[in-house]
Amino acid sequence: MLYLTMYIIKQLLLCFFLIFSVVIYAQTAAELEVLLETAAVTNGQAARFVISSSPGDNSASTEISAFEQAVTNGWLKNVNPDDKITLGKLSFLIMKSFDMKGGLMYLIFPGPRYAYRSLVSKSIIQGASDPAMLVDGERFLLILGNVLNAEGEK
């Protein structure tokens, strides 16, 4: 009888974990769909996806906690989570969270301008762009995908 009870409990736990993992996947897929349709990505959205994709400490599970982690680490400065992110600030966030090495000017003056130039030189940012331009969801995911490909090749 005890063996049967333990077997039933194990089966119920297995079902619970399977259902829970499907719910987590659905939330992430829904977030990606919303992000793809976004005309301008916010600092909070960018921090959430960049930090959770980076190899370092990705304990931040929400937009707010990821944004706070980015601000605490100095990766985002003088911004609010609902502000639209520029390509320069996104570049700096990516360079810092992935601990990427930049060019000489980035080493001397680490910041959004030279982070942007470093990512352009590495062909992570492609096409017509400017560090002051806003980033839409599609371009954001393309840049993040390029970063993950580049980092995976190391």
142 exposed, middle or buried (CB, 10 Å; 0-12, 13-18, 19+)?
A: middle
Instruction: Count Cα atoms within 13 angstroms, Cβ side, for 17.
Output: 5
pLDDT at 59 over 70: no
pLDDT tens column, 68-93: 999 999 999 999 999 999 999 999 99
| Alpha carbon distance 76, 51 (integer Å) | 12
9 or 30, which is more confident: 30
Residue 114 is predicted with a pLDDT of 95
Domain ranges of the chain: 1-37, 40-152
Residue 10 is predicted with a pLDDT of 53
Q: Which amino acid is at 46?
A: A
Q: What mean pLDDT comes out for the span 51-55?
A: 86
pLDDT tens column, 109-133: 999 999 999 999 999 999 889 999 9
Q: What mean pLDDT comes out for the span 27-32?
A: 73
Q: How far is CA 63 from the centre of its chain?
A: 10
- Within 8 A by CB and 6+ apart from 48, the residues are 60, 62, 63, 66, 67
Q: Which residues pair with 84 in a beta bridge?
A: 42
